[in-house]
Amino acid sequence: MTSRKRGMRRGLTAYGDEEFSLFLRKAFIKAMGYSDDALERPIVGITNTYSGFNACHRTVPELIEAVKRGVMLAGGLPVEFPTITLHESFAYPTSMYLRNLMAMDAEEMIRAQPVDACVLIGGCDKTVPALLMGAASANVPAIMLVTGPMLTGDHRGERLGACTDCRRFWARFRAGDIGAGEINAVNAKLAPSAGTCMVMGTASTMALCTEALGMMLPGGACTPAVMSERMRHAEASGARAVALAKERLTPDKIMTPEAFENALRVLLAIGGSTNAIVHLAAMAGRLGIAIDLDAFDRMGRDTPVLVDLKPTGQHYMEDLEKAGGLVTILRELTSLLKLDALTVTGKTLGENIVAALPAWKQGVVRPFNSPVFKEGGIAFLRGNLAPGGAIIKQSAMDPKLMRHEGRAVVFESLEDLAERIDDPALDVSADDILVLKSAGPKGAPGMPEAGYIPIPKKLAQKGVKDMVRISDARMSGTAFGAIVLHVTPESAVGGPLALVRTGDRIRLDVPARTLELLVAAAELEARRRQWKPPRPRREDARGYRKLFLDTVTQADRGCDFDFLAAPATMRIPR
Ligand code: FES
């Protein structure tokens, strides 16, 4: 609900005397040194997501200064406030487990404090969806500002980027190709500047999808974190936030079904992270919009991958920036986009495209008729192994495995995987299918990025680079391989994945969009009768863990908490 009151008069503490509440509030805020004139201005809140643990947000303090400058130049009063921040490597057990907590924090703080508009500063994977989920539910005018991607590193003349090249070099180390000295040298070059992972991982994907969604000023997705242009973009975002406050341009007017369709098109065309489909489902769910994954898959049949970025291609985000950024992609997709969707500029997506600089010759975004991959990056699968669906990043796998039948080699949990995957006695061959259970939203919990099951060491050493792998986990957007993810329902709630045994045959057919467990229905029924849910862990009974386990939804609904989504009244794509 959006308050009609403005500035200091918004959301007064309830003492039964509004004028006294305002008097008291002003008395306290004056301790910050503000004048009455300043306190009469539109107030723009700025989420401070800086943390010493969040390297992707290292530049947040200087971005805040730039946003403040923009707000003041436009006649507003900027006030920063902290929210939870999440970095992928510093959020045990997994950042996904904490995304909803950050979304709740953002929502309640935006609502609790007297902000007429809010600049949401995010960047690292979960922060952008969390802030947008919160802002959508609070429905206060908001604009997203991302920290921007890192510049690339260099090792012996080879460009490096987090974290596709982290995985590539680690795989070479596991296979014995390179030694400890070299892997240590590479470790120091993978994240050479401030900013987010500079391949088409989740951070880059969410930045591009957010710009396509209309919640970010044009050009904001790709500019590297350390460029001066990033500061000017931050200043412009602050200034625009003042206008959003005056226009009362709330997220529900921008995050419409049409806008989400544009974001989904872009997700497919950039060969984006599989995580984005979970985040977009959660964000849309906050506005009562359900994503129909079968229809999303049909959308993928006529949306080619156009962007030649790692892990699907060869370039990095700074190259996409030099190629013009998102608008270069949007121009190629024009015939498929909902150009009338409103954006935070106050203009439509179509008007923003027309207002951009004309295109120039570049080699990062392919023409629509000469794509990197002829279909969208993500394919949606169904079958008796995944009645609620599963996904695969078809643009980033060995094409030979698109149609594959093999013997299942099952790992019951992440612990089991860690214990046995490199055991020289493990009975496994390159044609087998690796299956991981108990890594879904409730099972792990938090649906970690464990779907990138490592190739067993003894096979890696023989040169095996890809195998079909199946789990109810997620995968980092920076990873690649014939990896089936988000199997729904997950094994911990009794999905068919829980019934798979080593030796079973499984058939994956990506062109037909099927995933089948080749076990007779009667046998599966017998196994189901024997199946027991995982024993509750001691820490499951209290606090945030309990709330999470009791209310988290499956991947197809974005893994949001069931009580946070709005009742679904719309379905996309239509
Ligand atoms: Fe933050 Fe990759 S770890 S974006």
Over residues 17-59, the pLDDT tens digits come to 999 999 999 999 999 999 999 999 999 999 999 999 999 999 9
Ligand 1 in contact with 449 (CB < 6 A)? no
Question: Cβ distance 398 to 482 under 8 Å?
Answer: yes
Instruction: Provide, rounded to the nearest whole percent, the portion of the chain with pLDDT above 70.
Output: 99
Phi/psi of residue 349, each to 5°? -60, -40
Ligand 1 in contact with 516 (CB < 6 A)? no
Residue whose C-alpha is closest to residue 449's, from 473, 470, 466:
473
Task: Pick the atom of ligand 1 nearest to 54's CA.
Answer: 1
User: What DSSP string runs through 2-39?
Assistant: --SS-GGGTT---SS-HHHHHHHHHHHHGGGT--HHHH
- Of 224-228, 479-483, 555-559, the one with minimum mean pLDDT is 479-483
- The pLDDT confidence band at residue 3, using thresholds 50, 70 and 90, is low
User: Higher confidence at residue 313 or residue 131?
Assistant: 131
* Cα–Cα distances in angstroms (integers) from residue 379 to residues 274, 315, 333, 490, in the given order: 10, 23, 19, 18
- Of 171-180, 213-222, 236-245, 300-309, the one with minimum mean pLDDT is 171-180
Output the pLDDT for position 1: 44
Task: Pick the atom of ligand 1 nearest to 196's CA.
Answer: 4
Ligand 1 in contact with 86 (CB < 6 A)? no
Write the single-letter amino acid at 459.
L
Q: Is the pLDDT of residue 146 over 90?
A: yes
User: What DSSP string runs through 235-268?
Assistant: HHHHHHHHHHHHHT--HHHHS-HHHHHHHHHHHH
Whose tokens are 């003492």? That residue is 15
User: Higher confidence at residue 573 or residue 324?
Assistant: 324
Distance CA 264, CA 272 (A): 10
Number of other CB atoms surrounding residue 429 within 10 Å: 14
The C-alpha angle 26, 29, 31, rounded to 5 degrees, equals 115
Determine how β-strand 570-572 pairs with β-strand 142-146.
unpaired
Residue 556 C-alpha to ligand 1 middle, in angstroms? 23
Q: What is the mean pLDDT of residues 92-96?
A: 95
* Cα–Cα distances in angstroms (integers) from residue 276 to residues 322, 377, 393, in the given order: 24, 12, 12
* Cα–Cα distances in angstroms (integers) from residue 211 to residues 71, 487, 562, in the given order: 20, 29, 27
Tokens for 273, please give them: 């992270």
Residue 300 C-alpha to ligand 1 middle, in angstroms? 26
Ligand 1 in contact with 128 (CB < 6 A)? no
Task: Pick the atom of ligand 1 nearest to 123's CA.
Answer: 4
Residue whose C-alpha is closest to residue 374's, from 314, 294, 432, 312:
312
Output the pLDDT for position 217: 98
Select from 3.40.950.10, 3.40.1790.10, 3.40.50.2300, 1.20.1250.20 the CATH code of 41-151+201-255+304-355: 3.40.50.2300
Q: What is the mean pLDDT of residues 212-236?
A: 98
How far is residue 74 CA from its own chain's centroid?
A: 32
- Residue 164's SS3 state is helix
The pTM score is 0.96
Q: Is the pLDDT of residue 4 over 80?
A: no
Q: Radius of gyration (Cα) for the chain, nearest Å?
A: 24
Q: What is the mean pLDDT of residues 92-104?
A: 97
Sequence-ordered list of residues with C-beta below 8 angstroms from that of 367, at least 6 positions apart, any chain: 306, 332
Residue 198 C-alpha to ligand 1 middle, in angstroms? 9
Select from 3.20.20.450, 3.10.20.740, 3.40.1010.20, 3.50.30.80 the CATH code of 381-557: 3.50.30.80
Average pLDDT score, the chain: 96
Question: Cβ distance 210 to 221 under 8 Å?
Answer: yes
Per-residue model confidence as pLDDT tens digits over 341-358: 999 999 999 999 999 999
Instruction: Provide, rounded to the nearest whole percent, the portion of the chain with pLDDT above 90.
Output: 95
- The pLDDT confidence band at residue 68, using thresholds 50, 70 and 90, is very high
Output the pLDDT for position 45: 98
Distance CA 43, CA 105 (A): 19
Give domain limits for the chain.
41-151+201-255+304-355, 153-187, 381-557
Q: What is the mean pLDDT of residues 290-307?
A: 96
Q: Is the pLDDT of residue 154 over 80?
A: yes
Q: Which helix (H) or strand (E) holds 335?
A: none
Ligand 1 in contact with 197 (CB < 6 A)? yes
- The pLDDT confidence band at residue 2, using thresholds 50, 70 and 90, is very low
Q: What is the mean pLDDT of residues 400-426?
A: 97
User: What DSSP string runs through 503-568?
Assistant: T-EEEEETTTTEEEE-S-HHHHHHHHHH--PPPPPGGGGSHHHHHHHHHBPPGGGTT-BTTTSPPP
**Count of H helices and E strands in the chain?**
20, 16
